[in-house]
Amino acid sequence: MSDHLLDERQLREGAAHAEELRQRFAAVYEIQRAERHTARATQVDVTATVDGTGHVLDLRIEDRVLRRGHPGLVGPAITEAVGAARLLAAQRAKELIVGGGR
């Protein structure tokens, strides 16, 4: 047998490791789907909530912002709030994956 070919034992170990990783990432994904991360824009009263995978679940814009606020500020505030909530989700995902935290 050539030195560069894997033997049966190495293949079994590799397959077992791959399955372990698949199960770990599946568990992390389920945790992420259940988590909620909320952030608010700094200058306009806009709040976004995302799940642990970054999907937007809720977006709240205070009525006074829509009635009296400058329309040009609402879009960037939405982007800021969603981005900040997604950053929280990404930081938590890193904790789950690297640190194994729950």
CA triplet 83, 87, 43: central angle to 5 degrees? 45
What gap in Å lies between CA 51 and CA 54, rounded to an integer? 5
Query: Does residue 65 carry a pLDDT above 70?
Result: yes
Domain residues of the chain, as ranges?
Answer: 8-99
pTM to 2 decimal places:
0.78
Torsion of CA 66, 72, 76, 78, to 10 degrees: 20
Closest-CA residue to 64 (of 82, 44, 38): 44
- Interacting residues of 13 by C-beta distance below 8 A, sequence separation 6+: none
Burial 1-11 (b: 16+ CB within 10 A, else e): eeeeeeeeeee
What is the tens place of the pLDDT at every residue in 14-37? 999 999 989 988 988 999 999 999
Residue among 48, 51, 52, 53 at smallest CA distance from 79: 48
CATH C-level class of 8-99: alpha beta
* Residue corresponding to tokens 């079994």: 12
pLDDT, tens digit, 9 for 90 and up, residues 67-100: 887 888 999 999 999 999 999 999 999 998 887 6
